[in-house]
Amino acid sequence: MTVLAYRFALDPTPAQARALRSHAGAARVAFNWGLARVGANLAQRDAERSYGLAAGDLTPPVSWSLYALRRDWNAAKGAVAPWWAECSKEAFNTGLDQLARALKNWGDSRRGKRKGKPAGFPRFRSKRKARPSIRFTTGALRCEARHAVLPRIGRVKLHEDGRRLADLVAAGAARVLSVTVRFERGRWFASFTVETEVSRPAPRLPDAVVGVDLGVKTLAVLSTGEQVLNPRHLSGALRKLRRLSRTMARRQGPDRRAGRAPSNRWRRASAALGKAHGRVADQRRDGLHKLTTRLASEFGTIVVEDLHVAGMVKNRRLARHVADASFGELRRQVEYKAGWHGGRVIVADRWFASTKTCSGCGAVKAKLPLAERTYTCPSCGIVLDRDVNAARNLAEYGNRQIAGSGPEIGNGRGADRKTGLTWQVAVKRQPGTAHAGQTGTVPAQAGTAA
């Protein structure tokens, strides 16, 4: 069984919108209450340690597991939130569950059990900045053709057609696990988390290996020679976004220090700016889904690069374009969609010199400026687009992985950094064969997109 999410836009009535905001506020109250309780306990224990008390004499620690937080909340909710009966229990459980996950990530990060960037201690959620969200896991959870049924909220009208999900549930092919209602860009959205059996047809070319070279000028270049142009949705909407930003800046916005509330004109300008940003995000997501679905349904093996996107966005001239291309999201979609169709994704090593290597003879250039868009091999004389050359090298990388020979290491030490040395002799070879009669070292190239 596979867990999928079906997301629908909602059209709640004013009363239902107020109820949803009330539930989201209840989740925020429970989160802040639990965070204050845990933070006070940790501060008290740190203070006692500074006084020189022994470990056995310290104030007992407070458990931050979800079970313990819910137990303590049920005992204190009468005094903390006398209005608790007006909201579903799922509202408070949402906030406590989010707090338990955040504290666990913080604790695991401190102990070195969590990969990635260090997770900081959770912060209190503001009514003005926190995004309203509520997750329902029990009660009446149902998706109908035109309505979503939520506990304590009732039947909320869907802005989109939900007949497909309703038919799957009615036929017993899917089971709704939870519903997350979230306020984004001026409207409410409902995401149904569903457990179902995913069956997709096998790729049209199950034995084909395609290399995909990602870039900014051209979003994706395939080893077949096909080029997918970068639509650059953000660049196209930048003029409108700047105009809306200037309009909002001229309105009277909120000022907490002066106790000033935002004007209605500022609220309308802010909603218009958020809607414009949301349209760009929707266009980008739609294009990526169409591209990745086509790749996964056509090719049995897809080879992509392990791009260092965090380093690429540090270039102030390319940061906006790299972020607009959304390389990470494209790779994520390709990976899970290839699994649906029975294919596989091979991720080339970050230091594999796909751009500098000649796809004809295997010679490697020491330098290849980003402005040089045509690859010209000094050894075999091949001339072709640099992105097509990189895509072909990625496809060859995938063929070697399938054959079990693994990637070729240009130097005997297995260095993972470019050495800056150049090839002295380059011998023509057939694709897929090993280098022979060559001297020097292969300068590896970090995964970059052009």
Q: Does residue 104 belong to any structural domain of this protein?
A: yes
- pLDDT > 50? residue 329: yes
Domain boundary among 170, 196, 222: 196
Mean pLDDT of 53-75: 92
Verify that 251 and 146 share a domain, yes or no. no
Is residue 136 in some structural domain?
yes
Whether residues 264 and 335 share a domain: the answer is yes
Residue 213 annotated among the catalytic residues of the structure: yes
Q: Is the pLDDT of residue 423 over 50?
A: no
In a domain, 61, yes or no: yes
Residue type present at position 171: A
Q: Which residue has the higher pLDDT, 332 or 116?
A: 332
> Would you say residue 33 lies in a domain?
yes
Integer distance in angstroms from the first to the last C-alpha of the chain?
Answer: 39
Could you give the dihedral angle defined by the CA atoms of residues 126, 127, 129 and 131, in that order, rounded to the nearest 10 degrees?
A: 110
State the pLDDT at residue 120. Answer: 92
Please tell me whether residues 217 and 312 are part of one structural domain: yes
Is the domain of 13 the same as that of 106? yes
Q: Which of 90, 213, 298, 324 is catalytic?
A: 213
How high is the pLDDT of residue 20?
96
159 & 141 share domain: yes
Which of 316, 346, 376 is the last residue in one of the domains?
346
One domain for residues 180 and 218: no
Q: Binning pLDDT at 50, 70 and 90, where does residue 432 land?
A: very low
Q: Tell me: pLDDT of 411 over 70.
A: no
Radius of gyration of the chain from its Cα atoms, rounded to whole angstroms: 28
Domain co-membership, 104 together with 230: no
Q: Tell me if 249 is assigned to some domain.
A: yes
Residue 420 — pLDDT band, cuts 50, 70, 90? very low
Q: Is it the case that residue 431 has pLDDT exceeding 90?
A: no
Would you say residue 253 lies in a domain?
yes
Residue range 176-203: mean pLDDT, rounded: 91
Q: Report the share of the chain in percent with pLDDT over 70.
A: 90
Half-sphere exposure of 440 (CA within 13 A, CB side): 18
Q: Do 192 and 209 reside in the same domain of the chain? A: no
* Full domain range(s) for residue 301: 205-346
**171 and 300 inside one domain:** no
Say whether both 14 and 123 belong to one domain: yes
Q: Which residue is catalytic, options 97, 305, 324, 396?
A: 305
Asked if 11 is an active-site residue, the reply is no
Cβ–Cβ < 8 Å for 222, 385 = no
Is 60 within the bounds of a domain?
yes
CA distance 10 to 162: 11
Does residue 435 form part of some domain? no
* Cα 224 to Cα 220, 230, 315, 364, 400, distances in angstroms: 11, 18, 30, 22, 18
Q: 277 and 311 share a domain?
A: yes
pLDDT digits (tens, 9 = 90+) for 111-151: 999 888 899 999 999 988 889 999 999 988 999 999 999 99
Per the residue annotation, which of 90, 298, 324, 387 is the catalytic one? Answer: 387
Q: Is the pLDDT of residue 85 over 80?
A: yes
Per-residue pLDDT band at 198 (split at 50, 70, 90): confident
Q: What percent helix, strand, coil does the chain show, rounded to 5?
A: 40, 20, 40
**Total domain count for the chain?**
2
pLDDT at 98: 96
Query: Does 215 lie in the same domain as 184?
Result: no
